[in-house]
Amino acid sequence: MESIIISKSPEETFILGERLGQKLEGGEVICLYGELGAGKTVFAKGLGKGIGVAEEITSPTFTLIQEYTSDLKKDIKFIHMDLYRLQYPEEAETIGVFDYFQEDCVCLMEWPELIADSIPADILEINIVGSGDLPREISLKSFGQMVLSDLMESANNT
């Protein structure tokens, strides 16, 4: 299943992330694609808020992995990964990326291309196209057994 949404502002991108986050229950793996400046961090902040994270979501560009606890969904952790700085697929295992693919985690991976062969089959793929002041085209695709029709339907209501 695929859905395409046009976001005309960072606020709309944030709201899309927030609405998706409200539907997540844990165990989801989300691969987030987009060039530098496309709005990946804005989307991640909205997703975190929707999951119930009260802390400010920051880009894990230098820490590689940020772990947050949901204040609303007490048994769920939001794991935000940025794999941009990795050079070899083996580094993902070294830093513990695969340890987070658990039922009590919602994993959002930016720049997952490097580990494409190791990503679970059940994922949500989000691609943000656009930069600067231009609108963003945000495509959402579900793969494997992950059924996200209601999630995508709520996203279309932004």
Distance between CA 15 and CA 140 in Å, rounded? 15
For position 33, what pLDDT does the model report? 95
For position 148, what pLDDT does the model report? 55
pLDDT along the chain (158 residues), means of 10: 91 96 93 92 96 90 88 89 90 92 94 90 93 92 69 53
Sketch out the chain's domains with CATH numbers: 2-151 (3.40.50.300)
What's the pTM?
0.88
Closest-CA residue to 100 (of 131, 133, 66):
66
Closest-CA residue to 84 (of 114, 58, 126):
114
